[in-house]
Structure 1
């Protein structure tokens, strides 16, 4: 039986080609990932706002698969309206699916806090408006963004076509003139999970990606060890606060 240990329901934008493969690669034996999709082609504030209306429908459909936790796998989609919206999104999905839920933006916050990262270098693929919103979100949660770079990519399929090496080089360039205590590579469609360990070794800092934080949070929510994750998140234990 698939998911004999736990089943993760994943709500993602329809144009996301990265989240499912990355999450499936790092989940432990006995954990399965099952996705539902919300329509999105361009990563803009208006389109993300419209997409969010479909999250409840996706959560209801995933509940038919007897899932154990739902992960809302979109970073900017879960922080678009700031703090309060993220927790409300988790609560609404939980009530609809009748199981715990995590939203990527809050999962990132939890991961950064667990790693004791307060001064953050932020790398995104986003257009300026969304990168700016993300900086405001992180700073409202008590983090200081000391370096930031956005790639100005709007089409989500173009974000998914980036390579992990792009994320590696973006972070290395970002750290040239900054002294953070942690790195966050944003976007569940930005392929970057595979370079986390190389970045941590080469930069000497904890590195969190959107997908790493999301799967870590989902696994610890269902009391499954996240030791298969790359990087320092793997060593943080399995139980949710």
Structure 2
């Protein structure tokens, strides 16, 4: 159907009443969260909503759900050390797409391996230099804190990455005091494919890690925000009785913790039952 558009000269417009409004005071606004996600990531935005779903502010925006704003950072689909570290020079463009002058309580940068290669402190400094934000975190930062929060020492490690990146990640975790009792990788170098790996394949990989572990495991860390883990975490935890921490559950938990949100733990994993 084609609309019959007439000009303003042919019709008399309605008389508009100007109605008053007020601007919310700082104490009335919700917690403001931001997420910088990769151009190629098909997963993190959906899973962040899952893990933070039901959360409300306890200090800022008391009783209100948080506001979450997203921006995307340009990246190459092929996951290599060179391509990941190249994102360091692309933060400014991604952060400039957030509303100007906006204050964030927390911003998460959604790439585990790039956080490792660029450096967590460097990521934090870059974000804070471009945006008014109180806290910055990454999936790697969140995972390191989460593994300590659940009391893990002996851990299993699952990633989709090429071996060079996986090895660097395991070395960092060992430097943190964790012992890697078993490790596995899908060996896929394209992020667009990683985001399509079936959750059942992730469950099967967890089974393989448990079976091959050289020591009893206290937890398993599944590294990469593109891996779809939200629907299988509770299933795997019920089967094996240990925390399963994914990159997305870790960054969501850490963002919520930093923003002092009261969280719902339903179907989100043992991590979200921590005080």
Normalised by the length of structure 1, the TM-score is 0.90
What is the aligned counterpart of 2:177 among 126, 132, 142? 142
- Aligned positions of 1:209-224 closer than 5 A: 209-224=246-261
What is the aligned counterpart of 2:161 among 116, 120, 126? 126
Per the TM alignment, residue 60 of structure 1 is displaced from its structure 2 partner at its CA by 4.0
Residues of 1 paired with 2:38 and 2:124: CA distance? Answer: 16
Counterpart for residue 10 of structure 2: none
8 Å CA contact 1:163–1:191 kept in 2: the answer is yes
8 Å CA contact 1:9–1:70 kept in 2: the answer is yes
Matched, 1:26 2:51: yes
Matched, 1:77 2:114: yes
Counterpart for residue 181 of structure 1: 218
Counterpart for residue 121 of structure 2: 87
Further displaced range: 91-100 or 160-169? 91-100
Further displaced range: 152-161 or 34-43? 34-43
Q: Any stretches of 5+ residues in structure 1 without a counterpart?
A: none
Normalised by the length of structure 2, the TM-score is 0.79
What is the aligned counterpart of 1:207 among 204, 224, 244? 244
**Structure number having the greater helix percentage:** 1
Deviation by residue 1:197-234 (Cα, 9 ceiling, x = unmatched):
11111011111000000010001111102324611111
CA RMSD of the aligned region, Å? Answer: 1.9
- Aligned positions of 1:39-54 closer than 5 A: 39-40=74-75, 41-54=77-90
| SS of equivalent residue, structure 1 residue 194 | coil
Q: Any stretches of 5+ residues in structure 2 without a counterpart?
A: 1-23, 55-64
Residues of 1 paired with 2:127 and 2:176: CA distance? Answer: 22
| SS of equivalent residue, structure 1 residue 188 | coil
Residues of 2 paired with 1:222 and 1:96: CA distance? Answer: 20
What is the aligned counterpart of 1:67 among 104, 112, 129? 104
When Rg is computed on C-alpha atoms for both structures, the one with the higher figure is 2
Count of aligned residue pairs for this structure pair: 233
Residues of 1 paired with 2:173 and 2:73: CA distance? Answer: 25
Matched, 1:38 2:73: yes
- Aligned positions of 1:106-117 closer than 5 A: 106-117=141-152
| SS of equivalent residue, structure 1 residue 72 | strand
| SS of equivalent residue, structure 2 residue 261 | coil
Residues 1:59 and 1:141: Cα distance change in structure 2 (over 3 Å) = farther
Matched, 1:101 2:136: yes
Residues 1:62 and 1:236: Cα distance change in structure 2 (over 3 Å) = farther
Per the TM alignment, residue 63 of structure 1 is displaced from its structure 2 partner at its CA by 5.4
Counterpart for residue 231 of structure 1: 269
